[in-house]
Structure 1
Amino acid sequence: MQPNVTAASIAAQCLQDRIVTGKEPVPILAIFDSVYQTGTAVLVDLVARSLARQRPVTVLCLEYSATTWRSILAKTVGGSAAASPHLNLVDLSASLPATADATYFDTRILPALHKHAKSEDPILAIIDAVDALVQLAPRSTTLSTGAWLTRHLRRTHAACPSGSTLAFGVGADTFTAPRQDHVATRVIDVPTAVRHLAMVTIDAENAALAEQERTVVRNVAAHDLRLDLGANDPDRLVCRVTCRKTRAGKYVAERNLAEWRGGQLHVQPFVDAESGEPEVVVPVPARAPDGEGEVVRAVPKTSKAVTTKAPSPSTAAAAADPAANLSFNLRLTDRQREARERVVLPYMAVQHESQLGTAATTALAASPTGGGATIFYEYDVDDDFDDDDPDADLEI
């Protein structure tokens, strides 16, 4: 089954190639874990695909050690990727301070990037988990933790060569709401701040939950939608991909549910419908092999001002027809319309015949296409058809 995917699906399908080739650079990419699924496999896949194209990769190891990273790459990709000369693993997991340290970016992270980014070629910079950096934020009366983190992440990306990509993992379910016990002018929680910073965000989801809660499907068997995904298989993930773009000076966000499987991003014939934001439901002409069922794709709109194209003539005609979007058909065929026009209402016929001096009793035959029936109407003296007093026209 090959669905007719929308523009958002096509953008998600080409996401990996755009990142690793640098043809359309994604400056900042955030990968969110969930309580059911880790997004580390997405980071590993990005590293492997970049190394396959001989693109320099620098991994700042905060959650896992450099040894663990090499072991993960060797098991999932192969020993050649772990031993690639384009791979630089900076082990920072043992050097993280236990208390707040506002200078850690200046003393450890930025020097590591400058050391390994020796040329002007774009690189892929990886921070395996920014969760550990949150504890380094100083307690400030003017800046929240989320704003502090995003400011230093911007500095980290600025330290990379032009055209580089900064990708990092975020444990979205490990952060609590911002504390309100001090006066703060910019109190922003970390996940919200990171989502506004990143151009592309990827949320790793549990496959079983995606099938049960995040699917817009009508009468289609699950096996036809390729939902036989392992619930926590690191090589087969279900991800929500959100691409933030600017079109004609207006902010546009496109969201799509996709399957990250075996180093490939496969667009599924369903998308996330859990968001509370308004949605536009677009029918997708994709059917199961047995010919039963129809898939409906819901594409959420997160932008308040979305640029729309001029409607096509067919769309304009459908909008002018009040019966165009109804689930039942109110239109008449030419034959039905002609038969309707031939139907003579009884009281109108009697009035016409009385004016011509014809008989008071008239037998009106029904239309030939409407069955067979005869309506008898007895014209009375009181039936004067006075337009000024319609209630007195007929004596009932």
Structure 2
Amino acid sequence: MATIYNSDARKLNKLIADNSIDTTITSPPYFDMKDYGHKNQIGFGQDYNAYLEDLSKVMKSVFTATKESGSLWVIIDTFKRNDTVIPLPFDFSRIATEAGWKLQDIIIWKKDKTVPWSRKGATRKIFEYVLFFTKSSNFKYYSDRTRDTKDLKEWWIKYPERYSPFGKSLEEIWEFSIPTQGSWGEGYIKHFCPLPEDLVRRIITLTTDEGDMILDPFSGSGTVPAQAAFMKRDYSGFELNAEYVKMFKTYLKKNLKSRVIEYERSTHSPSQEEFKENIIKLRILKFAKVLIKKSKIYDISISHILAIRSDETKLGAHQVSAAKYIVLIEPTNTIEQIKEELSKIIGCAPLSKFGISAELIIKTEFSEFESECENQELYIYSTSNTHKFKEKTANKKIKINEKAIISNIEISINETAYRSI
């Protein structure tokens, strides 16, 4: 189903079936600040209480139309009247809560392009509120889909165990530029307050799946239904201005095919896959480094560790990879006792937090250890730097008197490249 109704959002309950909507994304009319060109519009020409009553009616209808796993996202802002700030986001939150919605989060949308002036008693406005509500406690929310794998400091290299393989989690301030008026839709649609495509795309990614139904009861320029269509979701919308509806349909018809292809390509982002791989590699190698350091507590002297990434088909709930660690030690106790003590180290923090399913094999003779390394392409790391290999074993034999971590994992990251970010 994909429809923009040239109709009043207050009639939503007559046109949208109960329990049919997955996510609603909208920005209600900004009270009397904007005239959207229709005599029956909500906001313009109303007093504030009547305006809130109409919004309440719409939100109750949206609540009834939403599935139990569904959500509501509202982009909204304060405004000033008679030298007083009107806290519209908070008033809206109250009426939404009274309608049954559960407020889950408040996000700040930091706008890049805003008017470059302020006035007495008011600083320059550079943000709006994004209110996130859900119908129940059992709601869709896919945080791993929107993690950041690009704008990271160098610390992810040295502390990979502290970073999700999917990237840095979202923070409560989102920065998206306001679209230039008339630019959205290649000039097809000129609207007072078009939402940034990237903002809408993030919300859709966070709380919906392909084939889900997305609603915007105040469709305006059509950013929400357009993004829904581009991302292979269904959509419903309401818009009183027939000209907006007509222009939206023209734009969608011309751009749908190319934008769906663009979306499909973006869902297979090599950058996120590459980051995930690097985090896993760094964790496996650092695990060996920390094991060498912690073993000294039990007076165990580890001279070499061979870290081999192994089968990852049977990982536990919080494990990201599996590895076999062949450890060369100078025996001071029985092998059984040493293995027991090393197992204690592995079972406690910090190593227990690495998400590595570790298999431990102990060797006491260098010749036995060296034979494990034969006929493989391996990389040699120092015991202090496991994010940049020193050399390949093919080019140099392992030295008995030089402590090292050897692995079938190849990684070489220059941490200084991330210090300017």
Q: TM-score, normalised by structure 1?
A: 0.28
Highest Rg: 1 or 2?
1
Q: TM-score, normalised by structure 2?
A: 0.27
